[in-house]
Amino acid sequence: MKIRFLGTGTSQGIPVIGSEHPVCLSNDTKDKRLRVSVLVEWDEFKYVIDCGPDFRQQMLRANCTKINGIVFTHEHADHTAGLDDIRPFYFRQGDIPFYAHKRVLGELTKRFDYIFTSKDKYPGVPSVIQHEIKNEPFTLGNIEVMPINGYHHKLQVFGFRFAEFAYLTDMKTVATEEREKLKGVKVLVINALRETEHISHFNLQEALEFIEDVNPERAYLTHISHFLGFHEDVQKKLPKNVFLAYDNLQIAL
C-alpha cells in the first residue's frame, strides 16, 4: 500500500491569505500546506480521502489520472469544496463512487444539487454513485475498510482503517471502543492542529497521547495550523516514531 499526503494543512491552508506570521512567510516547502487530503493506493486501486478546495491542484501535482472513488470524513468545506473538479475523472471514467455517512451525503446533495440531481442535468455536469458508510466495515476495491467513529466538537466524523494503515483527521474525541479498532496498525495518521487547546481538534499533546495509546510503529501528524510552528523545529521535538507530515510526502507499507 502506498500513501501520498495531498494536503496537510488546516482549513485555511498555509500560508493563510494576508498573514504575516513567520510560518506563513517561510520559504521551506514543508511549511506550505494545502487543505488536508490523502491518496491511498494498492494493487490497481486508488482512493482519495476528502475532496477539499485544493483537489484540482492536488490531482495535478500527484499526476493522478484515475481514481476509484472518494471517501469522506465529514462535510466541512475544507474537506468537500473541491467536488466540482471531479469532472475530468467523470469525463474519462463515468460516474464517480462516493463513500460517506448518510448525513454527509445529504449535505453534499444540498450544496452540489446540480451534481446529485438526476433530471435536466446541464451537459458536462458530473455524476456520482452514492455509497452510505455506517459504523461497520465496508469494501473498497478488494479490501475491507473499518470506519473509526469520532467527534469534531459535536460533529460526528469518520476515520478509516485500511489493513495496517489508519487515517483520522478532525478528531477531538474518540471513544475507547473506537480506539480499540486501531490496535495493531503499523502506520497511524492523526490530526494535530497546534500547541494550544482547540474546541474541535486535537492539539499536539492530545495527538501524542492518542498515538501512545494506539501504539503504532509509526505515526504522522496532519491538519496542521501555522500556529504549530516551523516544520523543521516541530519535527525535532517529536518522539522517535512520530513525524510531522508534509505535502507530497509518500510512504509505503
Tell me which residues touch Zn ion (CB under 5 A).
78, 170
Q: Who's near 38: CB < 8 A, 6+ residues apart?
A: 3, 4, 5, 6, 48, 49, 50, 167, 189, 222
- Least distance (Å) from Zn ion to the CB of residue 27? 26
d(CA 233, CA 175) in angstroms, rounded, equals 32
d(CA 83, CA 56) in angstroms, rounded, equals: 9
Q: Bridge partners of 189? A: 167, 220
Cβ closer to Zn ion: 26 or 225?
225
Please give the Cα distance from 183 to 215 (Å, whole number): 7
Q: Which is nearer to Zn ion, 145 or 157 (CB)?
A: 157
As measured in angstroms, the least distance from the Cβ of 237 to Zn ion is 23
- Between residues 75 and 170, which has the closer beta carbon with respect to Zn ion? 170
Residue with Cβ nearer Zn ion (42 or 202) = 202
Nearer to Zn ion among residue 198 and residue 218 (C-beta): 198
Minimal CA–CA distance to 31: which of 250, 239, 252, 235?
A: 235
Residue 201 buriedness (CB in 10 A; 0-12 / 13-18 / 19+)? buried
Q: In whole angstroms, how close is the CB of 16 to Zn ion at the nearest point?
A: 14
User: Residue 32 Cβ, how far from Zn ion at the closest point, in Å?
Assistant: 17
CA 74 – CA 169 distance, rounded (Å): 10
CB of 225 to Zn ion, least distance (A): 11
